[in-house]
Amino acid sequence: MYNTIVVGAGQAGLSIGYYLKKTGRDYLILDMNQEIGQVWRERYDSLILFTSKQYSSLPGLTLEGDPNSLPTKDEISTYLKRYAEMYDLPVKLNTEVYQIKKTGKYFTISTNQLEYKAKNVIIATGPFQHPKIPVFAKNLSSDVLQLHSSEYRNPTQLIEGNVLVVGGGNSGAQIATEVSKERTTYLSTSQKLRYMPLHIGKRSMFWWFDKIGILSASSSSFLGKRIQKQGDPIFGNDLKEAIVEKNVKIVGRAFDAKGTTVFVKEQDQLKIQNVIWATGFKPDYEFLGTIEGVINHHGFPIHKRGISTIEGLFFLGLPWQHRRGSALLQGIGYDAKFLINHLRQ
Ligand SMILES: Cc1cc2nc3c(=O)[nH]c(=O)nc-3n(C[C@H](O)[C@H](O)[C@H](O)COP(=O)(O)OP(=O)(O)OC[C@H]3O[C@@H](n4cnc5c(N)ncnc54)[C@H](O)[C@@H]3O)c2cc1C
């Protein structure tokens, strides 16, 4: 019997692990991956973070290097591993949780290895679980190569011909810019793209966000609501240049497909050889299926700052769990500390 079981050893699970260690409680962090940092390691090769090093650190360990420079995804992967080692966090890898049940005051956590019992469970399985791909993708013929952004690594995976990237978020814009260096590239987006530089003067954009209160705005504040409504801009002038200089051709929202054709709004049809779906992710909390009233009908947790409706069950790392930074490296420590203070009480 453990006091607390944490599911997930990404930045969220490790941050709460750091604080749990300080409480002296008996706890364990379970993760189905083979190594810590694997989630970051498996993201596309050219990924460079939009948060500078100063804003990419977890509590208790500063990410080395110029605080205004931008880390690569592999630097973060290595950093997370070092973090777990430095604080000797009790992580059990290769352990997939497939069911969590509550009987009386205690939880039973079933995994592909052992069964565990705990008084508290903290779900830190990340906001990006399953690729979300539009239904019409299945109308495309097998002549078209389709990849979700989570499967994309680099342009060598593509077959000959043009590329349509669907989704105008940061991943979509970055991937489109990369492939446009060697291919005719379209970027399908339902909204007008807004751009923001990564630095102003010598300071990273996140330094300015911090100073003007964007990072500390809560989800229910006026500023927080406005930022949520607007969504993230595209970070980086290099992306803006590539897109505005028309290396990447912007097209409207993709809404249907047939054979090798994709239909996009305000445009005719595009004959396409490669499609990259940068269309986001779906949550997956199937392992909580036996616990009623904890997941809403859209599949998202019902909670207040990570505290669920079920005693002893918590979430960490949800987008806008409390602030913009809740699902970012910079903000996770703040939410983890809040949960620990709650658990202490
Ligand atoms: C392309 C991209 C770029 C990003 N850029 C930035 C950036 O610049 N700056 C920034 O701060 N953030 C960025 N993020 C966002 C964010 O930092 C990451 O998504 C981060 O990985 C989330 O951390 P997490 O710990 O919540 O989840 P994850 O890192 O996803 O970790 C969750 C862990 O839970 C484990 N797990 C899941 N289900 C189970 C289960 N059933 N049983 C056991 N283990 C399980 C997984 O194996 C995984 O190790 C980016 C995200 C993406 C996708």
Q: What spacing in Å lies between the alpha carbon of 17 and ligand 1's midpoint?
A: 16
Residue 83 near residue 108 (C-beta atoms within 8 A): no
Q: Tell me, what's the pLDDT at 239?
A: 81
Among 79, 125, 130, say which to mutate for ligand 1: greatest number of ligand atoms within 8 Å of CB. 125
Q: Which atom of ligand 1 is nearest to the CA of 281?
A: 53
Selected residue with higher pLDDT from 83 and 297 = 83
Q: What spacing in Å lies between the alpha carbon of 187 and ligand 1's midpoint?
A: 25
Angle at CA of residue 304, ends 302 and 309, nearest 5°: 50
In this structure, the residue with its CA closest to atom 44 of ligand 1 is 31
Selected residue with higher pLDDT from 145 and 191 = 145
Q: Tell me, what's the pLDDT at 242?
A: 78
Selected residue with higher pLDDT from 38 and 267 = 38
Q: Tell me, what's the pLDDT at 345?
A: 83
Q: Tell me, what's the pLDDT at 141?
A: 96
Residue of 38, 1, 27 lying closest to 91 (CA atoms): 27
pLDDT higher than threshold 80 for residue 268: no
Q: What spacing in Å lies between the alpha carbon of 109 and ligand 1's midpoint?
A: 21
Residue of 32, 123, 83, 165 lying closest to 75 (CA atoms): 83
Average of pLDDT values for 29-58?
A: 96
Among 18, 28, 32, 287, say which to mutate for ligand 1: greatest number of ligand atoms within 8 Å of CB. 32
Sequential DSSP letters for 233-271:
-EE-HHHHHHHHTTSEEEE--EEEEEBTEEEETTS-EEE
Average of pLDDT values for 210-225?
A: 91
Q: Tell me, what's the pLDDT at 247?
A: 83
Q: Tell me, what's the pLDDT at 285?
A: 95
Q: Which atom of ligand 1 is nearest to the CA of 328?
A: 11
Q: What percent of the chain has pLDDT over 70?
A: 100
In this structure, the residue with its CA closest to atom 17 of ligand 1 is 328
Q: Report how far residue 36's alpha carbon sits from residue 50's, in angstroms, rounded to the nearest whole number.
A: 21
pLDDT higher than threshold 80 for residue 122: yes
Q: In which band, very low, low, confident or very high, does the pLDDT at 246 lie, cut at 50, 70 and 90? A: confident
Q: Report how far residue 70's alpha carbon sits from residue 53's, in angstroms, rounded to the nearest whole number.
A: 6
Q: Tell me, what's the pLDDT at 128?
A: 87
In this structure, the residue with its CA closest to atom 4 of ligand 1 is 49
Whole-Å CA distances, 19 to 59, 80, 145, 312: 9, 15, 45, 17
What rounded mean pLDDT belongs to the chain?
94
Q: Report how far residue 232's alpha carbon sits from residue 254's, in angstroms, rounded to the nearest whole number.
A: 20
Average of pLDDT values for 202-213?
A: 92
Other beta carbons less than 10 A from residue 212's beta carbon? 11
10 Å CB burial of residue 173 (0-12, 13-18, 19+) is: buried
Convert 133-159 into a string of H (helix), E (strand) and C (coil).
CCHHHHHECCCCEEEECCCCCCHHHCC
In this structure, the residue with its CA closest to atom 39 of ligand 1 is 125
Start-to-end CA span in the chain (Å): 20
pLDDT higher than threshold 80 for residue 266: no
In this structure, the residue with its CA closest to atom 22 of ligand 1 is 126
User: Taking CB atoms and a 6 Å cutoff, what residues make up the pocket around ligand 1?
Assistant: 7-13, 30-33, 39, 43, 47, 49-51, 56, 96-97, 124-126, 128, 171, 287, 317, 327-330
In this structure, the residue with its CA closest to atom 25 of ligand 1 is 10
Q: What spacing in Å lies between the alpha carbon of 128 and ligand 1's midpoint?
A: 6
Q: Tell me, what's the pLDDT at 191?
A: 87
Average of pLDDT values for 314-320?
A: 96
**pLDDT tens-digit series, residues 85-99:** 999 999 999 999 999
Residues near 196 by beta carbon (within 8 Å), at least 6 away in sequence: 205, 233, 234, 235
Residue 6 near residue 124 (C-beta atoms within 8 A): yes
**pLDDT tens-digit series, residues 136-180:** 999 999 999 999 999 999 999 999 999 999 999 999 999 999 999
Q: Which two tokens stand for residue 327?
A: 């699902």
Q: What spacing in Å lies between the alpha carbon of 325 and ligand 1's midpoint?
A: 13
**pLDDT tens-digit series, residues 249-264:** 999 999 999 999 999 9
Residues near 85 by beta carbon (within 8 Å), at least 6 away in sequence: none
Q: Tell me, what's the pLDDT at 12?
A: 98
Provide the residue type at 91 as one letter.
Answer: V
Q: What percent of the chain has pLDDT over 90?
A: 85
Average of pLDDT values for 329-342?
A: 96
Q: Report how far residue 301's alpha carbon sits from residue 312's, in angstroms, rounded to the nearest whole number.
A: 14
pLDDT higher than threshold 90 for residue 243: no
